[in-house]
Structure 1
Amino acid sequence: MSFSNVLISWYRNNKRDLPWRNTQDSYLIWLSEIILQQTRVEQGLPYYLRFSEKYPNVESFANASEDQILRMWQGLGYYSRGRNMLKTAKVIQRDFNGIFPQAYADLITLIGIGEYTAAAISSFSSNEAKAVVDGNVYRVISRYFGISTPINSTLGKKEFQAIADELLDTKNAGEHNQAMIEFGALQCKPKSPNCSICPFQSSCFAYQHHRINDLPIKLKKLKIRERYFNFFLIDDGDEILIKRRDNTDIWAGLHDLPAIEFPERTELEVLLNHPDFTNWFNDKTVIQKSSKEIKHILTHQRIYARFVHLNNYNPSIIEKNGWLKIKKTQISDYGMPKLISEYLKNFLN
């Protein structure tokens, strides 16, 4: 049997029953693929179900506001995905007569859709012969063939794509691709794969040469950046002040609280003497309490947050800084990073 035949046989006996595998609707497949970028299936599934129920087609998605999309996206991270999806949905309404494309050549032109996602959508929806290469596929190929080229190098990407193209069952591309991804997720796992029941055991280079834990090889990650935020929960009776983040940093386009960032952990006295603090607040300002430091982990950043509760401020800072005064009962109407929304939820309760 060929590699693909063995793989597909394994897949049919072991695959998970996931809703996006029971459709050829390219819109729903796109929805699942974007949600699952940098996201585990267990975490992404409830988001997929909520999005597909509220926005069952590309037209309903395109008619949503950015705040509506980001509110539903809350907790998934990488919020640029949600914003790019909205842009793409609008483009499809305008340039594709509201019909979500299936062809790789069309998909690759859309915002937020790269080579992997275009290959996945086209092969899953129309069986187009495009091989997918994601982290799972890199791992399977690297171990099976004993390839030591770093998977995140330019040479590695070309080499692995070429092998994936060669392995592809062009007459059954969609199922082959699904099988490759699922095999890497369930069988050829990053840690402690169960090689004793692997159908490729006798021909796998890594298993035969005891290199399972060595492959695949990846170039060193970027240095983790540590950031220290002091968020101000400005309590104005039944209202608080929030602000919208710009598009040049983490949580782009979401709402959070007015804040001062430091490059290192600081004492409260240092914060009180910061020029922004003295500009925003006045002699009548009372600090009601300061939270314990909360650690929030992102892919390449570590956020250390302190929430300072206070009242009284200079009214002019609202318009000057573009802040918003909202009722506490309206907080859930605004898309916020999970760090902020969770703290405010506890605050209100």
Structure 2
Amino acid sequence: MVDALGAVDGPDDGRDVWPSLAGMLGNARRVLLVHHWDADGISTAAMLADEIERLSVSVRGFTPVIGNFFLSPEDRSAIEHGPGHDIVLVVDYALPVEDMGWLADRWPTAQIDHHLLRHDRIVQVNPVVDGADPGSYPSASWVATGYLDRDPDLLSVYGVVGDVGDRVRGMPVWPAVEAVLERHGLTLGDVQRIVDLIDSAYKVGDREGVIAAVDVVRRAAGDPSSLLNNDEWRGNLAAIDREMERLLSLPVTERAGLTVREIETRFNLISALGRSMAAEHGAALVINRGYFPDRDQIYLRRTDGVHVTRIIEAARERGYSAGGKKEVVGIVVPKEETDRALDLVYRLSGGRGAGAGT
């Protein structure tokens, strides 16, 4: 179905060429945006919704089950039997090949992303899989900004800061990010607070709140103060802060050069906890045994320059649901597979498996 996405007119620097947004949509009148639940996915979806509606095309958002790196049977049913759409755009969400194939069998499908997973059956607007420096495209929002030929704005910046935090200061995009901050009289700390508020919906497990957040950030594109004063998000953040304080008080161990913390929480805080630990220790592994009733979450983040892509590949080869980038991997496994998955992570991190010394 890729041919239905229109004529190709893209960059000439050796990367795959991409259709324009209008060419991608073709004769479609209804677009489904399947977007990730975090600030980058939300901000990128907001940006795309703006541009799609300017073409007089209707757009609807959808977020899969929070915490999954795949489409569950529930997700597939909702997509197939929902209000209807003519094309699917997958945004900041590294769905596995099987799920992308399922979508492409039914609708013209494209993806705007920056994760390291190539799909041959769809149009991928993704400079990173085409060989570009990930530091030049640290977020899907930054990819979309360039693809849509927009000047960097707050939506662009929310996605970047959401994904890389204050590490953005050392990246090639920093001068452009800094210019946006200065234009709006914001500090990087202000934007981090806004990102935390946007992320609060997914962290408390509010899936409908994630979908609604796309319109909230769209309406506030020129007024960041309205996001800082969003009462619902501030309430979420207060609950999250209390839970994070509890989780950070739990003991850690050292295995295979990783700082490891096991947790049980119904909040989706594994990424936030992993970021915090990696910022302090350089390489952090978090295992959450309390989010899903039948599965466990594993999250590894490294800020020490060691890439984890081989762990992602090995996990997928075993049939695990896994995704990530060069510095981060997330894996969701059935509870009976957790120890084997951890053995894999420890072994490929340089250790001796689950029994590696503490």
Q: TM-score, normalised by structure 2?
A: 0.23
Between the two structures, name the one with larger relative contact order (CA 8 Å, sep ≥ 6): 1
Structure of larger gyration radius: 1
- TM-score under structure 1 length normalisation: 0.23
